[in-house]
C-alpha cells in the first residue's frame, strides 16, 4: 500500500489547481500526507461507505468472472481428468490420439455457476505435445497462442471506439504444467517449454499421476525438480505473501510446490462414504485425502485463495510486459530524440502523417501508370483503326475495278445481243422473200442454212 500511496501523493503535488487545505491536526504516521496537503479526517458519525467493497462485489457479480487455464503436458498424462476433478464436472469425454504431426491447441469455454457467481471458464489443452519424433517445434505453438491472446486484447485497447467492459478476456491466467512422474528429473522438453513460457504466463508445475511414485521418492523428486528449475532460472508462480490473512498459508504452500496430484472422477466406497478415488488391487488412492496426494492443496490454491491474484498478475505484469515490448517494437517510445517526453499520441500522429504521405505518393504513382497505359492502348487502337481504314479503301478500289470490268463485259454482251437480233431480223425478212419465190429446194436450202447458222 505504501508504494501506491507514495505515487498518489507525488501525483497530487503536481496538480495545477490550487489546494487550499491547511494542514492542522495531523497524526504522526501521516506526515507524508501532510507534506502534500492531504489530510486524514476523522468523522463524527457513521457515513456509510463501508458498503463500498460490497458495491464493487455486486458489480463484479453482475459482470461475471473470466478465468482461462492452459494445460501443457504430454498426451495421456491426465490433463483433462485433472480439470474435470478440479471443477467437479465432466467436461469432455474422448481420449485424444498420439499421432498428430504438430502440436495444436484446443480451447473450450464453459459457464459455471456457483451460488451467485458466474464463471466463464476457458480450458486450453495442448494436443499432441511430446508425441512427435522431432520435438523442436513443440513449444512454439503454445507461445504463439499466448501472444495472440495478448495481441487481441491490445488491439481492443488501442481502438478508438472500444468496449473493454464487455470484452471477453481470453488471456491465459494460469498455465498448469504437467510433469511426468519419472522420479528422476525434468525432461529437456519440459525445461525448454517452461523457460519460454515463464515471462508470459503464471506457471504452476504439477506432478501428474502421482500415484506412480512412492512417498519417499516423491520428496526427493520434488526437491530435485525445484532445484533444477531454480538453477535454470525458470520463474514459476509464487503464491503472494504480502497480505496478512493469506500470507501464512501461501508461504507454506510455496514449500509444497510442485504439487503431486491424482485426478479421478470415479467414485469408490471407502468406509461408509463414496469418495473420488482410483482403485487398485493393492489399495485405493483417494483424491481428496491429503496424505495420498496434493490435490486438495492445488484446488485450494488455484481456486479458493489466489484466483483473483492470478488474474491481476496476468493483467498488470505479463500483459504490460507484452504491451511494452510490442509498442517499442512498433517504434513508439516515451522519450523522444532530444530527451523530451513524447506521447504515444504524438508518435502516432507522426506515423499517421507519414503513412498518409506514403499512401498519397503511391496513389500518384498508380495514377501516372494508369494514364500511361491508357495512352499506350489508345495509340495501339488508333493504329489498328488506321490499318482497317486502309484495308477498307483498298477493298473498295478493287471492288470498283471489278465492277467496271463487269460493266464492260455486260456492254459487250449487250452489243452482241443487239447485233444478233438484228441479224435474226434481216434473216427472217430474207427468208420470207425466198420462201415466196422458190419451192421446197429453197426450203431445204434454207433449212440447211438455218441449221448451219444455228
Partner 1 sequence: MDPLRRSPSPCSSRPSSPKTPPCEMLGYVGIEAVLDQLKIKAMKMGFEFNIMVVGQSGLGKSTMVNTLFKSKVWKRTLPGLGMSTPQTLQLKSVTHVIEEKGVKLKLTVTDTPGFGDQINNDKCWDPILGYINEQYERYLQEEILITRQRHIPDTRVHCCVYFVPPTGHCLRPLDIEFLQRLCRTVNVVPVIARADSLTLEEREAFRRRIQQNLRTHCIEVYPQKSLDEDINDRILNSKIRDRIPFAVVGADQEHLVNGKCVLGRKTKWGIVEVENMAHCEFALLRDLLIRSHLQDLKDITHNVHYENYRVCRLNESHVLPRGPGWVNLAPTPPGPPATPRPSKACRRAHDNSENDEDY
Q: How far apart are CB 36 and partner 1 at their closest, in Å?
A: 9
Figure out which of the listed residues 266, 290, 320, 363 binds partner 1, where binding follows CB under 8 A. 320
CA pair distance 87, 117, nearest whole angstrom: 14
Considering the rule CB under 8 A, would residue 129 count as an interface residue with partner 1? no
CB of 50 to partner 1, least distance (A): 4
Beta strands across the sheet bearing 267-270: 267-270, 273-280, 283-286
- Contact call for residue 7 and partner 1 (CB under 8 A): yes
Burial (CB < 10 A; 0-12, 13-18, 19+), residue 154, is middle
87 binds partner 1 per the rule CB under 8 A? yes
Beta carbon of residue 394, minimum distance to partner 1 (angstroms, whole number): 57
279 binds partner 1, rule: CB under 8 A: no
> Taking the complex as a whole, how short is the minimal distance between the CB of residue 245 and partner 1, in angstroms?
6
Choice from 72, 77, 82, 105 touching partner 1 (CB under 8 A): 105
Q: Could you give the C-alpha distances from 277 to 13, 261, 266, 286, in angstroms and in order? A: 61, 12, 6, 4
Is 303 near partner 1 (CB under 8 A)?
A: yes
Stretch that binds partner 1, among 175-183, 195-203, 250-258, 345-353 (CB under 8 A): 345-353
The residues, any chain, with a CB within 8 Å of residue 189's CB and separated by 6 or more, are 130, 135, 138, 139
CA distance 240 to 446: 148
Taking contact as CB under 8 A, which single stretch among the options 75-83, 113-121, 178-186, 386-394 is the one that binds partner 1? 113-121
Strands 65-72 and 117-127: parallel
**Binding of partner 1 by 376 (CB under 8 A):** no
> Considering the rule CB under 8 A, would residue 93 count as an interface residue with partner 1?
no
| 88 is a site residue for partner 1 (CB under 8 A) | yes
Question: 179: closest CA among 221, 150, 148, 215?
Answer: 221
- Those residues with Cβ within 8 angstroms of residue 87's Cβ, 6 or more apart along the chain or in another chain: 112, 121
Candidate list 55, 101, 368, 389; residue touching partner 1; CB under 8 A: 55
| Region near partner 1 per CB under 8 A, out of 85-93, 224-232, 249-257, 412-420 | 85-93
SS (H, E, C) 265-276: CCEEEECCEEEE
**41-49, 194-202, 386-394, 441-449 -> range binding partner 1 (CB under 8 A):** 41-49
**Site membership for partner 1, residue 109 (CB under 8 A):** yes
- DSSP label at residue 341: B
111, containing H or E segment: strand 104-114
61 CB-near residues (< 8 Å, 6+ apart)? 116, 117, 118
- Residue 270, interface with partner 1 (CB under 8 A)? no
* 10: Cβ contacts below 8 Å, ≥ 6 apart: 36
Is residue 349 within the footprint of partner 1 (CB under 8 A)? Answer: yes
C-alpha–C-alpha distance, residues 354 and 216, integer Å: 67
Pick the closer one to partner 1 by CB: 265 or 404: 265
Q: According to CB under 8 A, which residues from 142 to 181 bind partner 1?
A: 144-145, 147-149, 151-152, 155, 158, 160-162, 165, 168, 170
Residue with smaller CB distance to partner 1, 206 or 234: 206
Nearest CA to 299 among 328, 329, 274, 263?
A: 263
Pick the closer one to partner 1 by CB: 316 or 372.
316
The β-bridge partners of 174 are 69
Size of the site for partner 1 (CB under 8 A): 113
258 prior amide bond cis, ω within 30: yes
User: Which residue from 306, 314, 318, 446 is in contact with partner 1, where contact means CB under 8 A?
Assistant: 306
13 binds partner 1 (CB under 8 A): no
Of the candidates 2, 45, 93, 231, which one interacts with partner 1 according to CB under 8 A?
Answer: 45
Give the single-character DSSP code of 14: T
Which of 120, 187, 224, 449: binder of partner 1 (CB under 8 A)?
120
Choice between 226 and 275, CB closer to partner 1: 275
Amino acid at each position: 500500500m505504501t508504494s501506491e500511496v507514495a505515487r498518489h501523493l507525488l501525483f497530487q503535488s503536481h496538480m495545477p489547481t490550487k489546494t487550499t487545505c491547511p494542514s492542522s491536526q495531523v497524526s504522526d504516521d501521516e506526515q507524508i500526507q501532510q507534506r502534500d496537503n492531504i489530510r486524514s479526517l476523522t468523522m463524527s458519525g457513521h457515513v456509510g461507505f463501508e458498503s463500498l467493497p460490497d458495491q464493487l462485489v455486486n458489480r463484479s457479480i453482475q459482470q461475471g468472472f473470466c478465468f482461462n487455464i492452459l494445460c501443457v503436458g504430454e498426451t495421456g498424462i491426465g490433463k483433462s481428468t485433472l480439470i474435470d476433478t478440479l471443477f467437479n464436472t465432466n467436461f469432455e469425454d474422448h481420449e485424444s490420439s498420439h499421432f498428430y504431426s504438430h502440436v495444436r491447441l484446443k480451447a473450450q469455454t464453459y459457464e459455471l455457476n456457483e451460488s451467485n457467481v458466474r464463471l466463464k471458464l476457458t480450458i486450453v489443452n495442448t494436443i499432441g505435445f511430446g508425441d512427435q519424433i522431432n520435438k523442436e517445434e513443440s513449444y512454439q505453438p503454445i507461445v504463439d497462442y499466448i501472444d495472440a491472446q495478448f495481441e487481441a486484447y491490445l488491439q481492443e485497447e488501442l481502438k478508438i471506439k472500444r468496449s473493454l467492459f464487455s470484452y471477453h478476456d481470453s488471456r491465459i491466467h494460469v498455465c498448469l504444467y504437467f510433469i511426468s512422474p519419472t522420479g528422476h528429473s525434468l525432461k529437456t522438453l519440459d525445461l525448454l517449454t517452461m523457460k519460454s513460457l515463464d515471462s508470459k504466463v503464471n506457471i504452476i508445475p504439477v506432478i501428474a499421476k502421482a500415484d506412480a511414485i512412492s512417498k519417499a521418492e516423491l520428496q526427493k523428486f520434488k526437491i530435485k525438480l525445484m532445484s533444477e528449475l531454480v538453477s535454470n532460472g525458470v520463474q514459476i508462480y509464487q503464491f503472494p505473501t504480502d497480505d496478512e490473512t493469506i500470507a501464512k498459508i501461501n508461504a507454506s504452500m510455496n514449500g509444497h510446490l510442485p504439487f503431486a496430484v491424482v485426478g479421478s472422477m470415479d467414485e469408490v466406497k471407502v468406509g461408509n462414504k463414496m469418495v473420488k478415488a482410483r482403485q487398485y488391487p493393492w489399495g485405493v488412492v483417494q483424491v481428496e485425502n491429503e496424505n495420498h496426494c496434493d490435490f486438495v492443496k492445488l484446488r485450494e490454491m488455484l481456486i479458493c485463495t489466489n484466483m483473483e491474484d492470478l488474474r491481476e498478475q496476468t493483467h498488470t505484469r505479463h500483459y504490460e510486459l507484452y504491451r511494452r515490448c510490442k509498442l517499442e517494437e512498433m517504434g513508439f517510445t516515451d522519450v523522444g530524440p532530444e530527451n523530451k517526453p513524447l506521447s504515444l499520441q504524438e508518435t502516432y500522429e507522426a506515423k499517421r502523417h507519414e503513412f498518409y504521405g506514403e499512401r498519397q505518393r503511391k496513389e500518384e504513382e498508380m495514377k501516372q501508370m494508369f494514364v500511361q497505359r491508357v495512352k499506350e492502348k489508345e495509340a495501339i487502337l488508333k493504329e489498328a483503326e488506321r490499318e482497317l481504314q486502309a484495308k477498307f479503301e483498298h477493298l473498295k478500289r478493287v471492288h470498283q475495278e471489278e465492277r467496271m470490268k463487269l460493266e464492260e463485259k455486260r456492254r459487250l454482251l449487250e452489243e452482241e445481243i443487239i447485233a444478233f437480233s438484228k441479224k435474226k431480223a434481216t434473216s427472217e425478212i430474207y427468208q420470207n422473200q425466198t420462201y415466196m419465190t422458190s419451192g421446197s429446194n429453197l426450203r431445204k436450202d434454207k433449212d440447211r442454212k438455218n441449221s448451219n447458222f444455228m
